[in-house]
Amino acid sequence: MPQRRTKFATQAASEPTRFALRIGGFSLGLWCEQGMPVALDPEHIPFLAPSGADSPCDLEFDVSWASELRAPLSAPDFASGGLWSAHRDHCGTRFYFSSPAFGGGPYKAAWLDPSFSRGHVVLNRESFQSHDSLFPLEYPIDELVLMHRLALGEGVELHALGLVDQDSCGYLFLGHSGAGKSTTARLWMRQPGVRLLSDDRIILRHQAAGYRMYGTPWHGDAGISSPASAPLSAIFFLEQAPTHRIVPISQPQAAAELFARAFLPHYVKSGIEFTLQFLDQLTRSIPCSIFRFAPTDDAVEAIRHAHA
């Protein structure tokens, strides 16, 4: 069971056996076993694809029940420390999810092909028999799947706040715990015409027109999650200070700081290599600075003035 069990919304998917989501520019389609009580949690409802659920998606999942699930006897390629483990072979990657609440055995598993475009989610029926509704891609499985897909050469997920100003400039704010992401989110939320994409997880991808950032369902304390996206204009590393000051940061340092805040499969060598290359190119293309700021409304104007 996930560390924080979400409450399912009363609004279920429009079709009980098929629905599709769109996160980070990817479409995710699910075909669920007949009669499975599927619903979306509140965080994912905005990411429900409004149409085209029957069309092929970038990632397709079959979802079914199992009377029993057993993890492989072999050692995993990676273990999260209790919640999930990953096993890799030539056929793809298998994730197993466990919790002491269910006796320690897997309550859910997901098997993905090497391209992370086709998968099978299996739910232990006994573990979910008391649930009136369920979301097969409930956190962390949705984030894990997209994190691995991005590491195949399609982008990166960052621990960051992302927002779009009234002039369509997209700003990314990063910082260690306590650096001021939540404070920055509150300051910008009070500004007319500003759209916040996420206060905790942002997906970055490179397109022909440049770098683009996407909101995700995986929000932080401010509870901000949006399916919107925007071109990325600038990156700021937050530091709280008595007064406002924007300090340029060297390209290698900026890339290193971003890598420290990236979510990626660290046990996949090719994924690490791609992410390093992606962040190197990103920091050569997008201006990066340290933003030392006081938690006052004119912190917003300091950013706007620097990029006017």
User: Distance between CA 199 and CA 178 in Å, rounded?
Assistant: 13
The mean pLDDT of 290-307, rounded to a whole number, is 94
95-116 burial, b at 16+ Cβ within 10 Å, e below that, comes to bbbbbeebeeebbbbbbbeeeb
pLDDT of residue 51: 66
109-164 pLDDT per residue, tens: 999 999 999 999 999 999 888 778 899 999 899 999 999 999 999 999 999 999 99
Nearest CA among 30, 33, 17 for reference residue 138: 30
Rank 4-13, 37-46, 100-109, 123-132 by mean pLDDT and report only the highest.
37-46
Domains (range + CATH), the chain? 18-150 (no CATH), 156-306 (3.40.50)
Distance separating alpha carbons of residues 225 and 139, to the nearest angstrom: 14
65 contacts 162 by C-beta, under 8 angstroms:
no
Q: What percent of the chain has pLDDT over 70?
A: 94
Q: In what order do the strands lie in the sheet with 92-98?
A: 18-23, 26-32, 59-66, 118-124, 106-112, 92-98, 84-89, 78-79
Average pLDDT rounded to a whole number, residues 233-240:
97
pLDDT greater than 60 at residue 12: no
What mean pLDDT comes out for the span 13-30? 82
Instruction: Specify the pLDDT at position 4.
Output: 39
**Confidence check: pLDDT of 292 > 50:** yes
Q: What is the pLDDT of residue 52?
A: 57
What global pTM score does this model have? 0.92
Least confident piece of the model among 185-189, 198-202, 220-224: 220-224
Cis peptide before 140 (omega within 30 of 0): yes
| Mean model confidence pLDDT for the chain | 91
79 beta partners:
85
Give the confidence band of 53 by pLDDT, cuts at 50, 70, 90. low
